[in-house]
Amino acid sequence: MSRVDGTDFAALFLADTPMIDTRSPTEFAQGAFPHAVSLPLMDDEERAQVGLCYKQKGQAAAIALGHDLVHGNIKAARIQAWLDFAGRHPDGFLYCFRGGLRSQISQQWLSESGCDYPRIIGGYKAMRQFLLETLNQAADRRILVISGQTGCAKTRLLNAHPNGIDLEGMANHRGSAFGKRLGGQPCQIDFENALAVALLKHAHAMPQQPVLLEDESRLIGRIAVPEVIRGSMLRAPLAVVEMALEERVEHTFHNYILGNLADWQGCAGAEPGFGHFAAELRANLATLHRRLGGFRYAQLASQLDDALSSHHRGNPDPHRNWIRDLLRDYYDPMYAYQLGLKADRVVFRGSYAEVMDYLKNHLDMHTMQDKIGRRP
């Protein structure tokens, strides 16, 4: 029995529905959806030729040219890619930019190959608009911001709580000068779409519960937190995780040193991976040169070089020295100043375990506060 074409965008995103994106590769790279795969009807060059023909000669000529460009083995290969996807994901859908000719033609070719596969009415444009509206609506949800000094495991806490949404995970960046991760960052639209889907799922599963977000600046790497969400975060109450300096040194050491090196070596091999890891650490520290000042930067750069030399010989422990100094002398004073500006919004302070216990037993209190963390 054939399934009907899709119009319930909320249901599609809540179910993590697999989707075939039939737009060109460039369109896909500029923004797509979680669980969508690029299997284009036309590649970039073919689309450019058809678009030019459409402007010069009209729709009929453009359609004819499209069929001339995508025929024979090229057409067969693209249909086979769709058939393979449909076989793996019988619950999926396909879409193009507006739900028009490209998805209709793809659907027709699949049907002629014995596969009735539904498309999404309105295509990418309609789904993107739905997710933008979801972001706007989410600004009226309760938000509780998790704050704390650098290295106090805020992200781990968020991921351990069902109400948490990990902005840094979605941005593939830890948010600091040393926050780069392998694989690079998604484009801005992909980040916004992923965030909107996460907020949609939270609203569906826990409509009366606040969303937990980490205390982020406007930018996470090069990704901007949407202004409508950022505005709500700036009004929201804060729960502050407090952790001793040495504990934060250890957390930072294991995540930014041992963890990052393992990622690099897993990608590039032992020796090349260490080289990339060392170069990245030096480059990250260099971005703080102006803020640290020449003398302090030179001290930390020397400590880092010594630590890398020791690490290369098999002993990574000296990294703790420059990490400790950087946290204590740079990040901690900056955080203390920033927290002082929002001290009136702090509703709880405690250790990692105490904050987790607070979240377990007191979140309902925040659902009853009509003004905290909401738009005025």
- Residues designated as active site: 96
SS (H, E, C) the chain: CCCCCECCHHHHHHCCCCEEECCCHHHHHCCCCCCEEECCCCCHHHHHHHHHHHHHHCHHHHHHHHHHHCCHHHHHHHHHHHHHHHHHCCCCEEECCCCCHHHHHHHHHHHHCCCCCCEECCHHHHHHHHHHHHHHHHCCCCEEEEEECCCCCHHHHHHHCCCECCHHHHHCECCCCCCECCCCCCCHHHHHHHHHHHHHHHHHHCCCCCEEEECCCCEECCEECCHHHHHHHHHCCEEEECCCHHHHHHHHHHHHHHHHHHHHHHHHCHHHHHHHHHHHHHHHHHCCHHHHCHHHHHHHHHHHHHHHHHHHCCCCCCHHHHHHHHHHHHHHHHHHHHHHCCHHHEEEEECHHHHHHHHHHHHHHHHCCCCCCCCC
